[in-house]
Amino acid sequence: MSEPVLDLASLELDYEGFRRLALDARLSAHEKIGFPPAYREGFEAAIFADILAKLPRLAAERGLRVVDVGPGCAGLPRRLIELCQARGHTLVLADSPEMLALLPDAAHVTRKCAGLFPKNAGEVGAALGGPADAILCYSVLHYIYVDSNLFDFIDATVAMLAPQGRALIGDIPNHSKRRRFFATERGQAFHRAFTGAAEAYEIAYDTPAPGKIDDAVLTGLIQRAQAAGCDAYLLPQDAALPMANRRDDLLLIRP
């Protein structure tokens, strides 16, 4: 196996960082969105099935308005584009111009809106042409946390939802859940198998984790969405997904 071009784990990624990755011709599509290939290759069908289980109207209905915030350029947005074409949905993709240029155009279905969400929420709403029936933001919230205010993100997302609309903010790294998992025997065995290390993985409780999303942050986002009139739920991922043991999904539903 060839050595990776970049050590992705060492990069401090944000909106501008992903713009640079998108332009790096040495990288695979998964690497351009910040994942080592082993974290996504062979998993995208299962990931997309888990998304559709939480946004069931995407596959069951026709003519919806759909937004994908931070789609990147790998396989998941391509699957969503194909589904929206098949179901006659209007799809707006909101990401950097460099990422959007790597995705196919789909006439009369897909509209691309360049910029950092929620700062470009007005342009996304105008491109959508009405309130959204489904909003997807997958593996992105922890980067929005770096670039923006998460309450602003929740406010803009809730404001964009139509009645009975759903927003899935998925694949959120939860620092608290990660600590809980690695404190177990199963978590320690996972660590040994993944790293090859013989020593135990030390868990530090009651220590601050600046810049990390944890239970407290997620609880605050749930309460923010509820205060704005949405139901909000923290959901597990399907156990077959590659990071289900340390990531959560946040589902917002406008009654």
Mean per-residue pLDDT, 152-173 = 98
For the cut 80, the answer to whether the pLDDT of residue 83 exceeds it is yes
pLDDT at 2: 47
- Does 49 reside within a domain? yes
Exposure letters 47-71 (e unless 16+ CB within 10 A, then b): bbebbbebbebbeeeeebbbbbbbb
- Does 88 reside within a domain? yes
CB-CB neighbours of 104 under 10 Å:
9
Mean per-residue pLDDT, 116-133 = 97
Percent of the chain with pLDDT over 70: 96
- Does 224 reside within a domain? yes
- Does 66 reside within a domain? yes
For the cut 80, the answer to whether the pLDDT of residue 158 exceeds it is yes
pLDDT at 1: 40
pLDDT at 137: 98
> pTM of the predicted model, to two decimals?
0.93
- Does 218 reside within a domain? yes
- Structural domain of residue 72, as residue ranges? 8-174+213-253
State both tokens at 130.
Answer: 């009405």
pLDDT at 103: 96
For the cut 70, the answer to whether the pLDDT of residue 10 exceeds it is no
Mean per-residue pLDDT, 135-151 = 95
Mean of the per-residue pLDDT values for the chain? 92
- Does 225 reside within a domain? yes
Domain count, the chain: 1
Instruction: Indicate which CATH number applies to the domain containing 159.
Output: 3.40.50.150
Pairing of strands 65-69, 110-114: unpaired
- Does 249 reside within a domain? yes
- Does 161 reside within a domain? yes
For the cut 80, the answer to whether the pLDDT of residue 4 exceeds it is no
Mean per-residue pLDDT, 221-243 = 96
Read off the pLDDT of residues 94-106 as tens digits, 9 standing for 90 and up.
999 999 999 998 8
